[in-house]
Chains A and B, each alone.
Chain A
């Protein structure tokens, strides 16, 4: 855990964009991922894709 506490925070934000915006505004290093449900949101297709991996 020391590696986290003793280094500058660099955040990957996935989901709510506002979380990234507020971090950016206060000067925290952040990258926002505009995440979308995988497999077009189709759960059956997603489980098939997962099996292929």
Chain B
């Protein structure tokens, strides 16, 4: 094996672009491993431990340089891979030149050249967020912070500043929002409508808004707060601001709040605000107390699905509750899946890309199947010692940090999860493999197609051993998304995969299939 590097001085590209390019280079002829990465100290350590180290990197690469590091069969193939990687990089520069777009390097220059800007979307490394966010807020722009690794102190300071200026700070770690009908970052295409959502739960907002869209209603605003907003330290600043804004918004007739149960002081504030609203407020505090919500005169929802159905009913002038929002398990389908399983096949392996969806599944399995191991922080579950190795019933969120360091999020690149699908199928104790497929902007162009490739391999592995696995899935998205939900569902069903209309339905089905 031959390791070779190339340093492109004073060259910078964003992390998603570089991770994609790294994937491309890994696919080049004769290449065993490759990284295209910025030369920060952290990244250099990563290259050293990954066996992609050269004297050139040690001596010449700095934080403003781009490193192409390749391990290949021989020098010739390493050289060729580096040259092809450089060609790819140059193509992106040429594309910029052809498009003729002015691409500023600083916020100040962008602002000067783009009058009337009213929102900034920040996805830069977390430690630089505060500097840029301060400038953005001082210039009077609302802000969505996609970045994570922002300190709690910085979050509090930024949100307090925004509150004084009547500006919204969505995030940090806010993966999705819909503002004025525009989906931001990982969000779904949903028509504009009467239902406003404020959520401290990324895929929670995607699931609720997509179900609302599929039921034929629309979204006025979908405000993300970031997961830490509901902690005492932050005090729910964005959640309360969002709630107030929706109460005052003429286009919003029904409000939905989605989050894990907030800290007690924040719960009080949210319920107090919701109680004063003349508009109906549906609240899903994932796994929280329902009576606390109804005592405040709001509509409690036990699942994301129920929140969507209740909101749609209210938007149509009906009473909130309906039978449709309950989870119904198809007995015939259940019997058919049970028949597939042999003695000894008893465990669930739920492999998620959406954190809130995984969390909702934990809630719905709780008390029905045990023991459940997970990499999520969940009160009544066991922590997985090794996240790469399942144990008994296992629920994994592949979007957690341990899987995304230096890798693309599983909604963009499901390859890590795909190999896990195959691995789980080889375990004679695996009965059910459960998957969420999340559609929308910036997600994988064909999640069903990608999952099916792995499922095919998984089936072959299990069948070699005389077993069949039950695959249960849910597709979060709409027909208006670029991936088209109906087409994705059809693709899966055609291959005998169970697709249920919501994550809650999928979890209820699995719980019934595996109940102790």
- The answer to whether A23 and B182 have CB atoms under 8 Å apart is yes
> Which residues 104-124 in B have Cβ within 8 Å of A in the complex?
104-107, 109-111, 113-114, 116-124
- A35 proximity list for chain B (CB < 8 A): 14, 105-106, 124, 132
Q: How far is the CA of A16 from the CA of B166 in the complex (A)?
A: 27
> Which residues 78-132 in B have Cβ within 8 Å of A in the complex?
101-107, 109-111, 113-114, 116-125, 128, 131-132
- B104 proximity list for chain A (CB < 8 A): 31, 33-34
Interface mask (A1-12 → B, CB under 8 Å = 1, otherwise 0): 111110111111
The answer, yes or no, to whether B442 is at the interface (CB within 8 Å) is yes
- The answer to whether B17 and A17 have CB atoms under 8 Å apart is yes
Size category of the A interface is 20 to 34
- A10 proximity list for chain B (CB < 8 A): 114, 116-119
Whose C-beta in chain A lies nearest to the C-beta of B64? A40
- The distance from the CB of A42 to the nearest CB of chain B, in whole angstroms, is 7
Q: How far is the CA of A35 from the CA of B451 in the complex (A)?
A: 34
- The distance from the CB of A52 to the nearest CB of chain B, in whole angstroms, is 14
- The answer to whether B117 and A12 have CB atoms under 8 Å apart is yes
> Which residues 125-147 in B have Cβ within 8 Å of A in the complex?
125, 128, 131-132, 136, 141-142, 146-147
Whether A33 touches B118, Cβ cut-off 8 Å, given contacts A5-B245, A28-B182, is: no
The answer, yes or no, to whether B221 is at the interface (CB within 8 Å) is yes
Whether A41 touches B64, Cβ cut-off 8 Å, given contacts A1-B241, A33-B106, is: yes
Which of A13, A23, A26 counts the most chain B CB atoms within 10 A?
A13
- The distance from the CB of A19 to the nearest CB of chain B, in whole angstroms, is 6
- A4 touches which one: B17, B119, B121 (CB < 8 A)? B119
- The answer to whether A9 and B15 have CB atoms under 8 Å apart is no
- A13 proximity list for chain B (CB < 8 A): 120-121, 123
- The answer to whether A22 and B441 have CB atoms under 8 Å apart is yes
- The answer to whether B180 and A9 have CB atoms under 8 Å apart is yes
- B62 proximity list for chain A (CB < 8 A): 40-41
- The answer to whether B245 and A22 have CB atoms under 8 Å apart is no
- B141 proximity list for chain A (CB < 8 A): 12
Whose C-beta in chain B lies nearest to the C-beta of A42? B63
The answer, yes or no, to whether B232 is at the interface (CB within 8 Å) is no
- The answer to whether A12 and B119 have CB atoms under 8 Å apart is yes
Which of A1, A18, A23, A50 counts the most chain B CB atoms within 10 A?
A1
- The answer to whether A19 and B185 have CB atoms under 8 Å apart is yes
- The distance from the CB of B19 to the nearest CB of chain A, in whole angstroms, is 11
- A31 proximity list for chain B (CB < 8 A): 102, 104, 110, 113-114, 117
The answer, yes or no, to whether B392 is at the interface (CB within 8 Å) is no
Q: How far is the CA of A15 from the CA of B14 in the complex (A)?
A: 6
- A34 proximity list for chain B (CB < 8 A): 12, 103-105
Interface mask (B434-459 → A, CB under 8 Å = 1, otherwise 0): 00000001100000000000000000
- The answer to whether B248 and A14 have CB atoms under 8 Å apart is no
Whose C-beta in chain A lies nearest to the C-beta of B220? A5
* Chain A residues packing against B (C-beta within 8 Å): 1-5, 7-19, 22-23, 26, 28, 31-38, 40-42, 50
17 more A-B contacts (CB under 8 A) besides A7-B180, A18-B17, A26-B183?
A4-B118, A4-B142, A5-B179, A8-B180, A9-B119, A11-B119, A13-B123, A14-B121, A16-B15, A16-B146, A17-B14, A19-B185, A22-B442, A31-B102, A33-B109, A35-B105, A50-B131
3 nearest interchain CB pairs?
A: A41-B63, A15-B123, A1-B245
* Chain B residues packing against A (C-beta within 8 Å): 12, 14-17, 38, 40, 62-64, 101-107, 109-111, 113-114, 116-125, 128, 131-132, 136, 141-142, 146-147, 166, 168, 179-180, 182-185, 189, 221, 241, 244-245, 248-249, 251, 441-442
